[in-house]
Structures are given as structure tokens and as C-alpha cells.
């Protein structure tokens, strides 16, 4: 075999550079532009002095070549701070070639110092601060050491009045706790096209929560977080919690100050997920109210905007509390990380066979900060197996681009159609019919267990 090492003496950049380039690439519309940009960025990186790569200003060598490449994309304009960084970069490169005139050297050094100071300001981490998509590296403006990576087992330390304290610092208030129906659900094997009769004849019925669905309240009742609104913030915050508890909509709500409220016990059902499907580790769950816990972040309606990113949607206090709560739930209920998902990843409409009936979190959930893997990369089972599609409206909510799990799932479905020698439309028709049969059968099973029937949200 004739293996060709194509790279020659190329210097491979680190993962941070890859994240930076991937993040900046999202600003470009066409795949060809992105390809050109990636290649240019790598070429620019090669021109970086190796001394700089090893210096305390190494971050320069990861950001600025990418910006240099972006600047050469015809249809893209850099922001002012990015232009400032580039100026510093170009001056840096000018230094070795400049005659050693003391006044000029001093001027260059001064300019470099100034630009470096600007460049190293946290507000100017260009690729990460403004990424519209929830790539793991893009969404980490507020890294919270320890919250997601608490090394010890999490247990309940004490209960005082209505407050629970856990060993990882989590405090949960039971002030608004109500009771609902006990949890009971059927697990089916993952995938589609199986012989379901055996699984339905001897159903695998469980009562322990299988996973967590993250939501946002998108509540107009929550006033803006402004000093003048203090009275309203206090009053309406409690109003909102009372309403959510009365309607049994979520198990937990995290308000904007990071306070965690339990509205329903984990062993009971909340009506948070509606029509939905998810699978992990060979197991599949339909209509996740019965099987998954619902955790909601208090947000205002305009909060989830793909332009502003997750940091505008929720507060750092909420993210920290969510990391603690997730860790507690995962530890105490043995919930696998693959079953921690967001509402828009699971929500669907069986009538028009489209996903994204509910759109929270609009692709912006900060999985990494919560201590979870990048779930937006996981192919959606609704699309990959059951042939659900997504429309332009949903993609627009996601900022104009489907997240990777959606496109991967679409490819999987096409791949299966190829492998089965079927037209995609035909496979989709078959899967839609199969989906109806399964959910009808599960509905009947559910009614046998609990006669009040399902509710959607």
C-alpha cells in the first residue's frame, strides 16, 4: 500500500484553534466559503512564528490567523475589535522586517501592548462570544469550575423546613410542591422497523425516571431583570411558580437567581414533553411525560435568540444551579447523560410529521457548562428512524441552520432508504404508519395502567 503523508512539515494547531475556526465558520453562508475559510485559516496558522505559539500570547496564534482568513472572505466584514486584533497581528509580523530605529521600535512595542491589552480582554473573545450555534466550545462564556465536575457522590445532607441541601451545594426548595400521578411507562427497543409484538405483549414497564428534558418557561409574566422592577420580579416570580405547579408542568424550575424549586416529586408525572420521542443505549421512549423529568429555566419570551446566544437567555446563576441539579438527579436516579435532552430535540407533531413543535431551547442549550456531552450532535431518532422532517420555520428559529443531530439523522434516514432499496417517500409513509401503530398501542397500554389518559403540553 502506498500511503501518502500529504501534510509534509505542516504544524498542526491545537483543539482551541479548531474550535475558533469552527465557530467563526458559522458566520459564513455557503459550504464553499467555509471550506475556503478553513483552508486559509490553517495556511495562516503556518505563518505564525513558532515562538509565538509557545509564548504567553499563544492565544493570539489561535485566534488571529483565523481572523486573518475571515478578513479575506469577500462577503464578510470583521467587527471593530477583530480589526484591532488584526492590526496588532500585522504589526507583530512587521517587527522583524523593520529597521531597528529606536523610535519606530518603541512605537511598534507601544501599539502592540495596547492591542494586546484589548485582545486579551474577556469581552473580546470573538469566536466564542458571538457564536449563534451551541457548539461545545462556542457556549462557554461563563465557565463554572466545579459545578458540573463535582468529584464526589451527591447525596441529601439535610432538610430544613422546605429546603433541601445536597452535598454538591445544591439547594432545592419544596415551597411550591404539589402532587400528581405516579410514574409508569413502557420502554421499547431502539430504532424502527422491528417486530414490536413481543415488546408490547410483555411490556417492560418502569417507574424510575429515565432522563431529563430541559425547557424554558418563555413567560411573559417575568419582568425584565432591572432594579426598578424589583417588586414585580418578586411578586410575579411567585405567581409563575404557583401557576406552573398548579398545572403540573415541570418537576423543577430554576428561577433567574439560580434558585431551584421542586414542583412535583421525581416519582410522579409532569406534563412537560407532549408528543415526543427519544432513544439512547438501545432503548426508546415515546411521549416523554411519563418517562422523563422536566426541568425548566425561567426565561422571558424574547430570551432565546440565536443572534444573542445562550448567555443572553439565562443567567450564570441558572447555569450553575442547573449543573448542580443535573448532577444530583443523575447521581441519585442513575440517569445516563445520553438521556439528558432539550425540548426541541424531542418535540414533534404526528399530524404533519414534523419535528420542532416546541422550540425551546432553539439549539442554544449550554450542554458543556451543565456537564453534559454535546447532545446537539446526536442524530434525532424522530428523523433518523421515524422519518419526521423539519420545516423552514423551525430552522429559522434555530438561527437559519439545523443543528448537526438533525442533518445527521436525515442522512441516516436516506441511508436506510438506500439500503432497503426504497424510495425515501415510501419509507417515510411506512414509518409514519408504524409510528401511529406503536403510539396507539402504547396509549392503550397506558390507559390500562392509568385511566385518566395522557395530556400534552
Partner 1 sequence: MSKAKGLDLGTSRIVLATPNDDESFSYSAQLNAFVALPYSKVTERALQKKGVPHAVEGKEIIAYGDRAAEFANLLQGDTRRPMQTGLLNPQEPKSLEMIELALKRMVGPADKGDKICFSTPAAPPTNENDLIYHERTVRQMLEKLGYQVRSLNEGLAVVYAELEDDNFTGIGVSFGGGMCNVCVSYMGMPAISFSTVRAGDYIDRSASSVSGETPATVRLHKETGFALNGLSPNSVEQALSVYYNDVIETVVNGLATALASRGKLPKLERPATVVLAGGTALAGSFRNELDKALRKHSYPIDLGEVRLASDPLNTTAKGALMAAMLDM
Pick 313 or 355: Cβ nearer partner 1 = 355
Under rule CB under 8 A, residue 107 binds partner 1 = no
Q: Does 155 bind partner 1 (CB under 8 A)?
A: no
Separation of alpha carbons 168 and 152, rounded Å: 8
The answer to whether residue 51 forms part of the interface with partner 1 (CB under 8 A) is: no
Query: Closer CB to partner 1, residue 374 or residue 445?
Result: 374
Pick from 10, 114, 205, 225 the residue near partner 1 by CB under 8 A.
10
- The answer to whether residue 412 forms part of the interface with partner 1 (CB under 8 A) is yes
Decide if residue 414 touches partner 1 (CB under 8 A).
yes
Query: Grid coordinates in use for 78?
Result: 470583521
Is 4 a binding residue for partner 1 by CB under 8 A? The answer is yes
Cα–chain center distance at 110: 42
CA torsion sign, 296 to 214 to 246 to 167?
negative
Residue 442 cell numbers, joined: 402504547
Contact call for residue 418 and partner 1 (CB under 8 A): yes
Whole-angstrom Cα distance, residue 22 to residue 28? Answer: 10
Q: Residue 27 and residue 131: Cα distance in Å, rounded?
A: 8
To partner 1, the closest distance from the beta carbon of 406 in angstroms equals 10
**Number of residues this chain uses to bind partner 1 (CB under 8 A):** 43
Q: List Cα–Cα distances, 191 to 387, 415, 435, 438, in angstroms.
A: 11, 14, 11, 12
Tell me whether residue 31 or residue 151 sits nearer to partner 1 (CB atom): 31
User: Binding string to partner 1 for residues 308 to 337, with x set by CB under 8 A, is what?
Assistant: ------------------------------
**Rounded to an integer, what distance in angstroms lies between the CA atom of residue 353 and that of residue 383?**
10
Q: Does 61 bind partner 1 (CB under 8 A)?
A: no
In contact, 360 and 215? CB cutoff 8 Å:
yes
| Identified binder of partner 1 from the candidate list 162, 220, 393, 415, rule CB under 8 A | 415
Measured CA to CA, the distance from residue 161 to residue 172 in angstroms comes to: 11
Pattern 372-391, partner 1, x by CB under 8 A: --x--x-x------------
Q: From the CA atom positions of the chain, what is the Rg in Å?
A: 25
Q: How far is the CB of 11 from partner 1 (least distance, A)?
A: 9
Interacting residue with partner 1 among 18, 167, 171, 349 (CB under 8 A): 18
Kindly state whether residue 109 participates in binding partner 1, applying the rule CB under 8 A. no
Burial 139-177 (b: 16+ CB within 10 A, else e): bbbeebeebbebeeebeeeeeeeeebebebbbebbebbe
Residue 21's H or E segment, with its range, is helix 15-25
- CB of 13 or CB of 88, closer to partner 1: 13
19 binds partner 1 (CB under 8 A): yes
Q: Could you say whether residue 100 binds partner 1 (CB under 8 A)?
A: no
Close Cβ partners of 440 (under 8 Å, ≥ 6 residues apart): none
Q: Which of residues 27-46 bind partner 1 (CB under 8 A)?
A: 30-32, 34-36, 38-39, 41-42
What is the contact surface with partner 1 in residues (CB under 8 A)?
1-7, 10, 12-15, 18-19, 21-22, 25, 30-32, 34-36, 38-39, 41-42, 137, 374, 377, 379, 404, 407-408, 410-412, 414-415, 418-421
Amino acid at each position: 500500500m502506498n500511503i501518502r503523508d500529504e501534510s509534509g512539515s505542516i504544524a498542526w494547531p491545537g483543539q482551541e484553534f479548531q474550535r475558533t475556526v469552527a465557530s467563526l465558520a458559522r458566520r459564513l453562508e455557503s459550504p464553499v466559503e467555509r471550506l475556503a475559510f478553513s483552508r486559509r485559516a490553517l495556511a495562516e496558522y503556518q505563518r505564525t512564528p513558532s515562538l509565538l505559539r509557545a509564548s504567553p500570547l499563544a492565544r493570539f496564534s489561535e485566534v488571529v490567523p483565523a481572523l486573518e482568513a475571515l478578513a479575506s472572505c469577500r462577503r464578510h466584514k470583521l467587527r471593530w475589535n477583530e480589526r484591532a486584533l488584526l492590526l496588532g497581528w500585522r504589526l507583530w509580523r512587521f517587527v522583524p522586517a523593520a529597521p531597528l530605529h529606536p523610535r519606530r521600535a518603541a512605537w511598534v512595542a507601544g501599539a502592540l501592548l495596547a492591542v494586546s491589552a484589548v485582545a486579551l480582554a474577556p469581552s473580546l473573545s470573538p469566536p466564542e462570544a458571538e457564536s449563534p450555534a451551541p457548539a461545545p466550545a462556542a457556549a462557554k462564556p461563563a465557565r463554572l469550575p466545579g459545578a458540573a465536575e463535582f468529584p464526589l457522590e451527591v447525596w441529601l445532607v439535610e432538610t430544613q423546613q422546605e429546603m433541601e441541601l445536597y452535598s454538591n451545594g445544591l439547594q432545592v426548595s419544596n415551597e411550591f410542591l404539589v402532587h400528581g400521578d405516579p410514574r409508569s411507562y413502557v420502554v421499547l427497543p431502539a430504532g424502527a422497523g422491528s417486530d414490536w409484538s413481543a415488546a408490547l405483549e410483555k411490556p417492560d414497564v418502569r417507574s424510575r425516571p429515565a432522563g431529563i428534558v430541559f425547557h424554558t418557561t418563555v413567560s411573559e409574566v417575568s419582568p425584565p431583570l432591572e432594579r426598578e422592577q424589583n417588586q414585580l420580579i418578586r411578586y410575579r416570580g411567585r405567581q409563575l411558580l404557583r401557576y406552573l405547579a398548579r398545572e403540573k408542568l415541570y418537576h423543577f424550575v430554576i428561577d433567574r437567581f439560580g434558585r431551584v424549586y421542586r414542583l412535583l416529586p421525581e416519582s410522579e408525572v409532569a406534563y412537560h414533553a407532549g408528543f415526543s420521542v427519544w432513544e439512547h443505549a438501545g432503548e426508546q421512549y415515546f411521549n416523554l411525560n411519563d418517562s422523563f423529568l422536566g426541568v425548566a429555566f425561567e426565561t422571558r419570551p424574547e430570551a432565546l435568540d440565536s443572534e444573542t446566544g445562550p448567555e443572553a437567555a439565562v443567567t450564570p446563576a441558572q447555569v450553575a444551579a442547573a449543573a448542580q441539579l443535573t448532577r444530583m438527579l443523575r447521581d441519585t436516579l442513575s440517569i445516563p447523560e445520553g438521556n439528558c435532552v432539550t425540548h426541541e430535540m424531542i418535540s414533534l407533531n404526528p399530524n404533519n410529521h414534523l419535528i420542532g413543535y416546541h422550540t425551546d431551547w432553539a439549539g442554544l442549550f449550554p450542554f458543556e457548562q451543565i456537564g453534559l456531552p454535546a447532545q446537539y450532535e446526536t442524530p434525532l431518532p424522530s428523523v433518523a428512524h421515524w422519518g419526521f422532517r423539519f420545516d423552514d420555520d423551525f430552522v429559522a428559529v434555530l438561527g437559519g441552520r439545523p443543528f448537526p443531530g438533525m442533518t445527521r439523522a436525515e442522512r441516516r434516514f436516506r441511508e436506510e432508504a438506500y439500503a432497503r432499496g426504497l424510495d425515501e417517500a415510501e419509507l417515510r409513509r411506512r414509518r409514519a404508519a408504524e409510528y401511529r401503530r406503536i403510539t396507539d398501542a402504547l396509549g392503550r397500554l397506558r390507559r390500562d395502567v392509568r385511566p385518566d389518559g395522557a395530556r400534552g403540553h
